[in-house]
Structure 1
Amino acid sequence: MPRLLYSAIASVDGYTADTSGNFDWAAPDEEVHAFVNDLERSTSTYLYGRRMYETMQVWQTFGDDPDESPVVVDFAGIWRAADKVVYSATLDAVSTPRTSLERTFDPDAVRALVAAAPGDVGIGGPTIAAAALRAGLVDEVRLILVPVAVGGGTPALPRGLNLGLELQDERRFANGTVFLNYRVTPS
């Protein structure tokens, strides 16, 4: 049965972007990137908010240069092969293939989409993930914690939400990054 998986790269103090909106500190090295690629292989569909879609759409052409690293080329192929649904009331149109635009986030429609998906469904971006977490739709939370504290910004997990989590997997990388995979449990 397909799962709805929320994945985020965050600082150790829990932010996906700092107070200036920057996230350049989150760029994975080759080892972490290869691991992320393996995690994403089962993803058949990505659900994004506008900002995350605007960040991720570069993968439509990024990785086309033959001089790119193999992990970059690999991720580009994974991303391009997946369907994408963008939830935005302000975006005029989407510009990538295999992408649809929805004006509102409807938990019942998302539940049906996940149930009918041929593989796992990834939800990307803390704002849209917060809506899915609050609606009880997310099956797993996957955090990749980068060894930097940014002191504030966009939180990876929504404030004010009591969320039960059961550790399923963990991994430490040579650069100090840590992967934590949690199953969401009833709280």
Structure 2
Amino acid sequence: MGRLVYSYLASLDGYIADAAGAFDWAVPDDQVLGFINEVERDVSTYLYGRRIYEMMTVWETDPDLAAHSPKNAEFADIWQQADKVVFSRTLDVVPTRRTRIEREFDLATVEPLKQSIDGDIAVSGATLAAEAFRLGLIDEVQVFFAPIVVGGGQRMFPDGVRQRLALRGQRRFANGMAWLRYDVLK
């Protein structure tokens, strides 16, 4: 059975994008990206909302991004080898391989997916993750905290959800980032 993992790079005050929509302050350096690659190797399927999926397609559609560094090329390969499920009511076609569209993010769609997959399932996008939290589907939370407070913007965690967590792992990086890994207590 697959574990549904919510992972993001966030500011120390819990934002994944600042008030202007920027997240350049969270771009990982090679050390962090190398560790992200290690963690992402366990992901067999990504669950995306339309906006985050459209942002992530560059890992398959823009060869210049992969050519930027060996760590970028490694991430591009990891991303391309995984299955992707895009939850969208407006998207009709996808430009990437190993990708399908689902119209509804609900228990009837996601629970059988979890039952049928052996690897990790990564849910990406704060809106989709908020729904996964509300449905009780998330098994693990990973946060890469950037050493910055941005004071507002798009929050990583939704309002109205209270969830107990158990620390499972942690790591510090030379650039000041810190990674925390939590199991969701059911």
Whether these two folds match at TM > 0.5 is yes
Please give the secondary structure, in 2, of the residue aligned with 1:54.
helix
Once residues 107 and 94 of structure 1 are traced to their aligned partners in structure 2, the CA distance between those partners, rounded to angstroms, is 23
Aligned to 1:152: 152
Aligned to 2:116: 116
Structure 2 alignment gaps of length 5 or more: none
Structure 1 residues 29-65: Cα deviation after superposition (integer angstroms, max 9, x where no partner) = 0000000000000111000001110110100034567
Once residues 105 and 64 of structure 2 are traced to their aligned partners in structure 1, the CA distance between those partners, rounded to angstroms, is 33
Calculate the TM-score normalised by the size of structure 1.
0.95
CA contact (8 A) 1:7 1:141 kept: yes
What letter matches 2:39 in structure 1?
A: L
Once residues 81 and 162 of structure 2 are traced to their aligned partners in structure 1, the CA distance between those partners, rounded to angstroms, is 35
CA contact (8 A) 1:48 1:86 kept: yes
Aligned to 2:183: 183
Residue 134 (str. 1) matches residue 128 (str. 2): no
Task: Flag as ranges the 4+ runs of structure 1 deviating above 4 A.
Answer: 63-67
Once residues 52 and 66 of structure 1 are traced to their aligned partners in structure 2, the CA distance between those partners, rounded to angstroms, is 18
Please give the secondary structure, in 1, of the residue aligned with 2:174.
coil
Calculate the TM-score normalised by the size of structure 2.
0.95
Once residues 12 and 66 of structure 1 are traced to their aligned partners in structure 2, the CA distance between those partners, rounded to angstroms, is 28
1:68 positional shift: 2.7
Aligned to 1:166: 166
Residue 87 (str. 1) matches residue 102 (str. 2): no
Structure 1 alignment gaps of length 5 or more: none
What letter matches 1:180 in structure 2?
A: L
